[in-house]
Amino acid sequence: MQFRGLLIFVVVLVSAILGLVAESLAQEPRRIALVIGNNDYESVPKLQKAVNDADAVAARLNEIGFQVTVAKDIGRRAMSRAVLEFEKNIQEGDLALFYYAGHGFAISGQNFLLPVDIAPAGPGEEALVKDESFLADDLTDRLQRAGAKTVVLVLDACRDNPFAQPGRRSLGGQAGLSRMAPSEGVFVLFSAGIGQSALDRLSDSDNNANSVFTRQFLNELSKPNLSIVDIAKATQVSVRDLAAQIGHLQTPAYYDQIIGTVMLNPNAAAAAQSRGGIQGFQEGQTVALLPRIDPAPKAGKQNPIASFSRSNAGWTVSISLPEPAIQFGYRIGEDGEFVDTGLANNIDRETGRPMPVTWFSLPPDQPAGNLYVTWRDKRGEEAGVFPIRFDPGDELKTGQKQILEQLWTAWVSFREYNGLLVYFSHLVSYRCGIEKIEYTLDNSDKIETWQLPPCDAGDPHRMPENAKIYRELPKKTKTMQVVVTYFDGTRSPVRNFNVKF
């Protein structure tokens, strides 16, 4: 009887241990990805690098621990099947990533990804495109319904209108993609902003195998322990700077509805810390090191400097600290706890420790008011709490003025299409910071003014449908001179542009 009792005890104990192991394994989320690249379109312009982009992204995701399925140059039925099989493979709690490189098209605010067998479509045939392509806006809901706790969409599809035909009216819609309003748990990254086109390459001599966006995205994806927001912001800056080298405006947009932090490429330590939740995901919590009560700033501490930038997704607040720090936090409003922004993947030589992330995001409708920041210096001492005044109206105009001054070479662009055309698209996109645009041709005495649509502070970069963005120039025009008067009354230098395309 004693032996039987001992045997029962051992069986129960082993069962309990196996149950705990099974529970632990069940709680360990998987990271799975579907990667699609479409180059070989049958009836619309072919692309050169979408398949290369898909191969490169699939390889990188596989290297950092994703289970990857890749599909290339697929038609509507195969594309639907690939998504369906991906959907069926999702288990409860998974992190599901969908990457697409190819043509995309927006109709009535909905985004469609085009299979290679998409039929040519003309004016009034929007329904044909809707029926024969894939609705991207529905994808996140499907993946979440299948059980994914976190969904990441990366869409390198913001290219020119694939249905455009020279000299003829084309299908009504928007080249590239429209803004998305994802649900909680979803992150979307576009290769360009709304109304912008994404470059396949910088020039005909650009021999990089990947598109301008994907080459920069791959660089950031290689760095361990970056959050998806860190990856998006770094990609945003590097793509913008690279495209600006040839006078092109391309600033990737992202939409973040993830509560907490997602790391696509966590190292072993980060993965170990995330057991019991999504790998690389940590619920956003206030760190105890940061003060809850407002102490006066320490003697000798200088004020930090704040800069604000507005994107399609909202505001980014970047804080420049007056000293090396080991931790940083912010708070919105007078009361409440401070939020720790975490650590970057860079070592500060002065502290010998990872640098704190010193930027954070605000929603696009954030009202005016005070923000508060604090940090710990390299000795671990609290710096105190510093208020920062945020006025969205002033910051929007100031930020746009700064961008216009830095990227003045993109103010106008030229094209020969049924005549010589000059485009003011860049200036119209940043019109909130502008009071007046004046220009002359070939240094003549005739000063003309370009009329701008009103600023929409709620959606400042959207191009109104009735906005005038180009005009025809006399055929023999050689140069153009442009002066911008900013919102604060200051005037830019005379910027000279050679007419070339």
Query: How many C-beta atoms surround the C-beta of residue 367 within 10 A?
Result: 10
Q: What is the mean pLDDT of the chain?
A: 83
> What are the extents of the domains in the chain?
28-273, 305-390, 406-498
User: Residue 292: CB partners within 8 Å, gap ≥ 6?
Assistant: 337, 338
Using CA atoms of 237, 46, 152, 221 in order, give the dihedral in degrees to the nearest 10.
Answer: -50
Residues of 327-359 as b/e, b for ≥16 C-beta within 10 angstroms?
A: bbbbbbeeeeebbbbbebbeeeeebeeebbbbb
Phi, psi of 19 (to 5 degrees): -65, -40
466-497 pLDDT, tens digit per residue, is 899 999 999 899 999 999 999 999 999 999 99
282-296 pLDDT, tens digit per residue, is 222 334 455 555 556
pLDDT at 132: 81
86-107 pLDDT, tens digit per residue, is 999 999 999 999 999 999 888 7
What class is the 28-273 domain? alpha beta
Distances (CA, A) of 418 to 27, 232, 415, 441, 471: 62, 39, 9, 20, 12
Does residue 103 sit in helix, strand or coil? coil
The DSSP annotation for 61-88 comes to HHHTT-EEEEEES--HHHHHHHHHHHHH
pLDDT at 163: 62
DSSP 340: E
Phi, psi of 142 (to 5 degrees): -65, -45
| Residue pointed to by tokens 């208020």 | 387
Answer yes or no: pTM beyond 0.85: no
In the predicted model, is pLDDT for residue 320 greater than 80?
yes
Mean pLDDT, residues 451-474? 90
Same fold for the domain at 305-390 and the one at 406-498? yes
CA 137, chain centre distance (Å): 16
Query: How many C-beta atoms surround the C-beta of residue 182 within 10 A?
Result: 18
In the predicted model, is pLDDT for residue 29 greater than 80?
no
Mean pLDDT, residues 388-392? 94
Tell me which architecture the domain covering 406-498 has in CATH: Sandwich (2.60)
pLDDT at 198: 86
Query: How many C-beta atoms surround the C-beta of residue 291 within 10 A?
Result: 17
Of residues 78 and 455, the one with the higher pLDDT is: 455
110-147 pLDDT, tens digit per residue, is 888 998 888 887 666 777 778 888 888 889 999 999 99
218-272 pLDDT, tens digit per residue, is 999 999 999 999 999 999 999 999 999 999 999 999 999 998 888 999 874 444 3
What is 305-390's CATH number?
A: 2.60.40
